[in-house]
Structure 1
Amino acid sequence: MSRDVSELEQVYFEKLKTPATWSGIPTKPLYGPQEVARLDYERDLGNPGEYPFTRGVYADMYRGRLWTRREVCGFGSPKDTNQRLRFQIDQGVSGLSVIDDNNGSLGIDADHPMGIDEAGVQGVSLNSLRDMEELFEGIPIDKVSMSFDISGLECIAWMAMYVATAERRGIDPADLRGTVQNDALHFQYCGYGHSCPVDLGLKASVDIIEFCSKKMPKWYTGNANLYDMREGGLDAPQEVAFGLSLAIAYVEKALERGLAIDEFAPRRAFYCSCHIDFFEEVAKLRAARRLWARIMRERFGAKDPRSWQFRFGVHTAGVSLYPQQPLNNAIRIAYEALAAVLAGAQSLHCCSYDEPIGLPTENSLTLAIRTQQVLAYETGAGRVADPLGGSWYVESLTDRIEQDAVKVMDEIRRQGGMIAAIKSGWVQKEVDAAAEKRQREVESGEKLIVGVNAFRTEREKATPGGAHREPPGQGERLAAAVRELKRTRDQRRVREELRRLHERAQGGEKVNLLPPMIEAAKAWATLSEMLGTIRVATGQPYDPLGVVQPPGF
């Protein structure tokens, strides 16, 4: 026995050492009615399904329909990811979610000289309509809810290829159901800013909002990405404030395009984190619902109650997971998933316990799916809408997070709004400062992490259940497939469609680029060719990495 027995008595009488929440909000040892005396039920809470939606966006919540149970998927070739999607379907997911690789986020193809080694490493390598069709081979895309976990300029190319896939199958795009993240602004502080200039990214995002609002009524036109900012180190009130400020920027741009608020707002959504501080996360999501409802009704004058609703999907917090003692992560994930459900999430992705080590294996993915299924079918957690509503502690914490979030949003307005704050570097500075603060807290032991800075054991020699490995030569094979497509297609047709796209892209801010991109995709133009054409037409470099030269138009 390596532990000093004399410590046992000390541990027996140990007291809680962290009276503040993860975000640093002070808490009392006991809460009572005095903490919520100022709350007015109808004004501040309301029943589920009623303004201000603090208690949930639907009256019957999960008795009406369970949350969508999906797991983000993407690696290797489209065929590899297709097989994993089919595996997920066999395991019982109720929706699908796909993420692209780093090349896709940059807007380059797998045959790019600097992209071969990255092809298919952290997401699926998707370069053309042919890849999109292979990705969904055997999957009825008009029957399944699809989520594209992509945010940069590549969003508009993916949407073009997805619509083209549907049309080539004889499916009306109006019958497609799902979501595209479509939050180009957040790319500016996630490492891909140089590939997605702010103004061009916003223009492409609004093109998607406009096109889908008019032609794809079942499709959510974008998720404001709160999740990645929280992963960067922001606290709960900052996550709400930065995320809602992002959403406001898109609302304002869509209004400038000439869309009516109730024409597009009912199909906007949010992509949120659920971190490890259980009650804080529940309160955070309740506060976000209330705050967004007030913004949409009072600031933007929306009349349709659906426009007031903060509909959100949750991704459990990858940043809360650690490679040390990785099975501990399964416990963290389960608690975070429970918080998401008690907060009324519309969709949920559970991380896999091996996320800090690599992409999920089939074993770890299955456990993530089973975590959701046990939560849905065994625990009774979804039986009652907003079961923590009315708790003096939860209501007090909801209030406090809303107040703190409003203060941060006021500061963002003083910076000139979210777009100006991103361009000036203020947002990046805030994210960096938050990340440094969190790291110091872990290193100093101020934040105790089981298995990391406390209760440590000897380093494990292997990951339980094994680890995902990419096969040797993957990048070269994916690059060769792109070269073969480019060699065998009708080159004149490709040039004609890219020339039309170039002309349309020169037409100004209000010319929607999705229709010509759909036709270019059908001609087998690749992702990098379509996006490079748009870049050149709008005064940007054809290749964000400055290596590949543009074709003549």
Structure 2
Amino acid sequence: MDGAHDLEEAYFERLKTSETWSGIPTRPLYRPEDLRELDYGRDLGDPGEYPYTRGVHRDMYRGRLWTRREVCGFGSARDTNARLRFQIAQGVSGLSVIDDNAGSLGIDADHPRGIAEAGVQGVSVSSLRDMEELFDGIPIDRVSVAFDISGLDCIAWMAMYVALAERRGVDLASLRGTVQNDTLHFQFCGYGDSCPVDLGVKTSVDIIEFCTRRMPRWYTGNANLYDMREQGLDASQEIAFGLSLAVAYVRKAIERGLAVDEFAPRRAFYCSAHVDFFEEVAKLRAARRLWARWMREHFGARDPRSWQFRFGVHTAAVSLVPQQPLNNAIRVAYQALAAVLAGAQSVHCCSYDEPIGLPTEASQTLAIRTQQILAHETGVGRVADPLGGSWYVESLTDQIEAGARRIMEEIEQVGGMIAAIKSGWVLAEVEKAALRRQQEIERGEKIVVGVNAFRAAREKETPGGVHVSPPGQGEALAAAVRDLRATRDRGRVSRALRALSEQARLGEHENVLPSMIEAAKASATVGEMLGTVRAAAGHLYDPLGVLPPPEL
């Protein structure tokens, strides 16, 4: 009987591999002698103490739980505002907003090639008017907001958000939140040509400088380890590439004239929590230790806050699959647990329908509830670093840190991350890693339930349904931008854009954000503001080469 044979085979089933997801060999048992070289004070320390392996705060979640966010953005600003309000009603403790494809390209919703991309994969925000609608009824002085935006439009979003705060009479010093602001990693997200490397880094440093001096409670950038991991990198590569991105911004900010201890305490990181549970816990602990050591050894940082690796976690969307989608909720729960046991400062849980489309209210509610159950029912927050001292976890932490440091030193040898990106070295490494991961799955060396094992009959529909964009969405968004252009004070817009252009032409160390804030207040669009800065830097006004620059 086939059934009897299958049952017997299942009974005697063994693990396919003894390696971690990243290929680190493991033994069946770990003992004290595996950590002979470990020195508690030097390599671990108590939570809240250098090198912060065990956490950046002594009491961790007893002092304050991690921020529970769900990335949000689709359709119009009004659509996303409604979902943000829904999230607040469901109990999130912070907001997270992502831009659409058109914005990521740095173009407006009415661009000839932007109409089809408007409101897709994020919210369409083309002007301050959209920003006002996005946060209508939301007290921005009392809520932490994260902008998951890394393209050139990042600086335009900051300009519009500051303009919104000033229009509401909100003190900029009271604003809490984070802007991703990692234009370098954007080279690997499909939008690279829209964000020239040098110009992107320059505007990133503009944001760092402005926020450091005007918005002391705002995190000036999140080095995006997460998107790099989504490309197929392993755990050590994720840390090394991500920390090297951060190092590049630190260097550029110092060149701008900022002291390292002036801005480094408000830098943060955006990490992945993948499927290999213990490896992910160890990876995040290793990242904390490596960053602390790197900042002290390489930059001479003296403020302990400059050594601290503060990070948010996004559960690994790349690990989710459209087959048997409810299984994704289980994957996400384990990943969120790893993030919390590793001491994350904030967590976003993917919705189970992420491989299929944007989340529905039902799937996003389940993602929110996953975090709430984790926070309030499981007891994982009672003790700081509860896996610290595990011979297995500490051994993995050491190995991942050592691997990451080797890669970082290799990047330094080729001239740092900016040079490594320009030379094509980083892209080559990313492509090799992605191919290796896919081949491992196709060969059955890595089991993905529902894909290469434990497959079910073809499913006819997604449980809970799918998010469907309304017909004509792009054209409606384009019409709104055309209406803005027709009704605004054109003279004021032209004067503001001329001032922005003049500011941008003054050189690499001249901050354009103040002029862009004034342009936003004048109702200049994102495409106009970014096009002006692009042209002043010697690039095409329109990244797609369709629209000519306007006469100012």
**Shared fold (TM-score, shorter chain, > 0.5):** yes
The one-letter code matched in structure 2 to 1:203 is K
> 1:85-234, aligned counterparts within 5 Å?
85-234=84-233
- The answer as to whether partners of 2:129 and 2:523 remain within 8 angstroms in 1 is yes
Confirm whether residue 19 of structure 1 aligns to residue 18 of structure 2: yes
Q: 2:8 and 2:514 mapped to 1: Cα distance?
A: 71
The one-letter code matched in structure 2 to 1:483 is R
Deviation at 1:121, TM superposition (A): 1.3
Which residue in 2 is equivalent to 1:485? 484
Deviation at 1:413, TM superposition (A): 1.4
Which residue in 2 is equivalent to 1:416? 415
Confirm whether residue 61 of structure 1 aligns to residue 60 of structure 2: yes
Which residue in 2 is equivalent to 1:347? 346
Deviation at 1:297, TM superposition (A): 1.1
- Long gaps (5+) in structure 2: none
DSSP 3-state at the match of 1:359: coil
Deviation at 1:7, TM superposition (A): 2.1
The one-letter code matched in structure 2 to 1:296 is M
Deviation at 1:410, TM superposition (A): 1.6
- Long gaps (5+) in structure 1: none
Q: 1:97 and 1:155 mapped to 2: Cα distance?
A: 14
Q: 1:96 and 1:142 mapped to 2: Cα distance?
A: 13
Deviation at 1:487, TM superposition (A): 0.5
**Per-residue CA distance 1:296-340 (angstroms, 9 max, x = gap):** 111111111000000000000000000000000000000000000
Which residue in 2 is equivalent to 1:395? 394
The one-letter code matched in structure 2 to 1:239 is E
Which residue in 2 is equivalent to 1:432? 431
Deviation at 1:427, TM superposition (A): 0.6
**Per-residue CA distance 1:101-133 (angstroms, 9 max, x = gap):** 011100000000001011101100000000000
Query: Could you tell me the TM-score, scaled by structure 1's length?
Result: 0.99
Deviation at 1:224, TM superposition (A): 0.2
Confirm whether residue 46 of structure 1 aligns to residue 45 of structure 2: yes
The one-letter code matched in structure 1 to 2:274 is H
Query: Could you tell me the TM-score, scaled by structure 2's length?
Result: 0.99
Which residue in 1 is equivalent to 2:537? 538
DSSP 3-state at the match of 1:104: helix
Which residue in 1 is equivalent to 2:371? 372
> 1:180-329, aligned counterparts within 5 Å?
180-329=179-328
Q: 1:41 and 1:456 mapped to 2: Cα distance?
A: 46
Number of residue-to-residue matches in the alignment: 552
Which residue in 1 is equivalent to 2:497? 498
The one-letter code matched in structure 2 to 1:299 is H
- Sequence identity, in percent? 77
The one-letter code matched in structure 2 to 1:442 is I
DSSP 3-state at the match of 2:146: strand
The one-letter code matched in structure 2 to 1:78 is A
Cα RMSD (Å) of the superposition? 0.7
Deviation at 1:156, TM superposition (A): 0.5
Deviation at 1:4, TM superposition (A): 2.5
Q: 1:542 and 1:16 mapped to 2: Cα distance?
A: 55
> 1:73-88, aligned counterparts within 5 Å?
73-88=72-87
Q: 2:221 and 2:174 mapped to 1: Cα distance?
A: 17
Deviation at 1:58, TM superposition (A): 0.3
Which residue in 1 is equivalent to 2:526? 527
Deviation at 1:3, TM superposition (A): 5.6
Which residue in 2 is equivalent to 1:28? 27
Q: Structure 1 segments of 4 or more deviating over 3 A? A: none
DSSP 3-state at the match of 1:114: coil
- The answer as to whether partners of 2:97 and 2:146 remain within 8 angstroms in 1 is yes
Q: 1:459 and 1:430 mapped to 2: Cα distance?
A: 36
DSSP 3-state at the match of 1:5: helix
- The answer as to whether partners of 2:16 and 2:445 remain within 8 angstroms in 1 is no
